[in-house]
Structure formats: structure tokens, C-alpha cells
Amino acid sequence: MRILLVEDEYLIADAIKASLERQAHHVDWVKDGRSAQDALAADRFDLTVLDLGLPHKDGMDVLRDLRRSGDKTPVLILTARDAVQNRIEGLDLGADDYLAKPFDMDELVARCRALIRRSNQNADPVLKHGDVELDTASQSVRYKSQKIELPPLAYQTLQVLLERQGRVVSKNDLSATLYGWEPEAESNVIEVYISQIRKKTRNDLIRTIRGVGYIIDTETV
């Protein structure tokens, strides 16, 4: 999934970015409030991790303006340890969760996972389609109860399609989720990931909608 990280402290940001990337998320990082606002206006993110004390524009103001504009991107705010008032204000302004600094990196990662799941209305950490199962907690995929290995970006592609089951995901959307602002390696990489998934699972798991994108159809029971 694609996450916007807004944090002006380099050491903390580096640690957060590394932890989230180990969980197969793509992280785009900005260091001040105004850049955060621009990024959120221009791009779609699955989640924003927002520090409150930021240069140029306070995190609280970024959050307020985001919600006023009707944007529902899930937001996890990072607050100071004893700033209870900050947390209350943040939640009232539409933050979905908060963590007080200093926090445990595993907890941050778990909360991010839960927020993304909730926003996609998936209560279960295991995403399923027939005999294909993807466990977002252990980052493993099973086909017919057997563990299969997928390269990281193919895994992410499968996760996005399973999270948005029943909806067509455009190639541009997929590529933005996997690469964010980094230019993708080659224009046909998405096709490569799709074919890797098909080879390891079923050929008919993912349908290509020519010229539009890809879909995993909702299961008919």
C-alpha cells in the first residue's frame, strides 16, 4: 500500500520508512506541512502518518484542512508523550488513530496495517479469494493451502487487488501504489507482476480489462 509519511526529524523518519517498507508498503516522505498538503491534494494515499510539530504548517492544520476538503485518507498522528490535549484535538479533527512518541516500531506498523484494513472494510487480516489467501500480518501467500513465494512487488500487487476486490484497479493506480513518486523501472512491469501471480496461482484469478486495468472479481458463493 502507498503511505505518505510526514515527519521533519530525519532519524525517526528513516526508521519509520524502513519498517513500513519491510512490510511491503511504498513510503513517500515529506518533511514539512505545506509539502504534505500539496502531496495529499495531488495524489491518492492509502494512509498518512502525520507528525504534528512541523515546519511551515502545523500537522494539526494539515489535518483540519484535509478533512474540510472532504478527503477521507486514513490519518495516524504522532504526538508528544504527555500531550493529552493534542491527542484529543487530533481525534476530534478527524485523525483515525494516534501514537505518542517515543513509540515502538512494531506497534506503529501494526496500527498502520489495521487502519488500512479498516479503510478497505476488511476486518480480517487474511485476504481471501477462493483457494488464494494472503496474510497481511505475516506477509505470506497460500494457494490451495500451500505456501507460495512471490517477489515483493508481485505480493503488493496481489494485496492491492485483493483489498479492492470487485473493483477495477487501473494500471496507473497500481503503479502509483507500488512506486509513489519514484519512476517505475519499465512500462510493462505491472504485466510482469500480474503474470507472476497468475503462474503461482490460477490463471483466471485476475482479469485484465483491456486498456483500463485489472480486477479480482467478487466471489460468487
Contact pick of 53, 58, 135, 200 for Ca ion (by CB under 5 A): 53
**Please, which residue, 51 or 96, has the CB nearer to Ca ion?**
51
Tell me the residue nearest to Ca ion as measured from the CB: 53
> Which range binds Ca ion by CB under 5 A, 46-54, 101-109, 130-138, 177-185?
46-54
How near is the Cβ of 79 to Ca ion at its closest, in Å?
A: 10
Pick from 32, 46, 51, 96 the residue near Ca ion by CB under 5 A: 51
Least distance in angstroms from the C-beta of 81 to Ca ion: 13
To Ca ion, the closest distance from the beta carbon of 58 in angstroms equals: 10
Cβ-Cβ contacts under 8 Å for 41 (sequence gap 6 or more): 69
Q: 80 or 212, CB closer to Ca ion?
A: 80
CB nearer Ca ion, residue 78 or residue 206: 78
Minimum distance between the CB of residue 178 and Ca ion, rounded to whole angstroms? 28
In this complex, which beta carbon is closest to Ca ion, that of residue 8 or of residue 61? 8
Q: Which of these ranges, 23-31, 51-59, 131-139, 177-185, lies near Ca ion under the rule CB under 5 A?
A: 51-59
Residue list 4-33, contact with Ca ion (CB under 5 A) = 8
59-68 vs 84-92: helix axis angle to the nearest 10?
A: 20
Interface contacts to Ca ion, rule CB under 5 A: 8, 51, 53
